[in-house]
Amino acid sequence: MNRGQLGLGFPEVLAVGAVLFVLALIAFPRLVMPTTILVQVPARQLAADLRLAQRLAIARHLDYVLEMSPTTSPYAQYSVHAMGGPVEPDFPRPFDAGVSVSGTAQFQFRSDGAAVAGGSVTLTSGGSTAVVQVIAATGRVTVTGP
């Protein structure tokens, strides 16, 4: 480039383009996060915590409960505790504000791991829906949905 000319040379334009490309790669996924992810993550977390309640019931030979609150849907959070006992550490866990949660308000697991009653919880966000289900006889926890 001559000393009297103004503007950018080819190497400078390439460097600016590379920086903008990297910034776009970082920002784009955050801007267009699909609604399925907004439903999948809390559904899988709820299923994992249901399995935790089941394992605690077996390990401690006590009935364990996962309870939603408030007691009517839409639910805002849930907690795990022994029947009549204090809430376990790391609970209550809130649901994300953009996710609507409804269904069974309480799941109880006996010391043999079976659920006292079956039930399901439906999580909805945008056009995506996930269902977390507990089967009474076995206590099996499943997640269906996106």
Enter the tokens of residue 57: 């019931």
Alpha-carbon dihedral angle through residues 57, 47, 117, 128, given to the nearest 10 degrees = 170
pLDDT digits (tens, 9 = 90+) for 54-72: 999 999 999 999 999 998 8
Q: At 19, phi and psi to the nearest 5?
A: -65, -45
CATH-assigned architecture of domain 35-144 = 3-Layer(bab) Sandwich (3.55)
Mean pLDDT of 8-23: 88
* 109-119: pLDDT as tens digits: 999 999 999 99
d(CA 38, CA 10): 43
Average predicted confidence (pLDDT) for the chain? 88
Compute how many other C-beta atoms are within 10 angstroms of the C-beta atom of residue 31.
7
